[in-house]
Amino acid sequence: MPHDIDFFDCNALSGSPNNDAAADAEVNTLAHETEETNTDEDLDAWYDNSGNENADKCAWNFGTTYTTANGSTANMQIGTKDFLVQQNWVNANGGGCRLSW
């Protein structure tokens, strides 16, 4: 059975890119759960041999990161905001954890 992400488990986050730890943690978690909803809205579709949904395969894997102006860690910038968001599994080209396709 797939594991759930604990919203309050912010140990993987290093600082708060937007100086709002709760909001930054929520963006990370929301991105993970939204991706799983997109690929498995009825909880009966996409699972690997271990029972992981696509975002679970990359849980807490952030890929390449950078240090923000306030000293936090981020891996993407949208507009003028920095975020640290878990990667998601992409099946294409042999499969792998990615932030985009």
Residue 54's pLDDT band, with cuts at 50, 70 and 90, is confident
| For residues 5-14, average pLDDT | 53
CA separation for the pair 61, 82 (Å, rounded): 17
The secondary element (H helix, E strand) that includes residue 34 is helix 21-39
- This prediction's pTM: 0.79
Residue 8's pLDDT band, with cuts at 50, 70 and 90, is very low
C-beta separation of 3 from 50 below 8 A: no
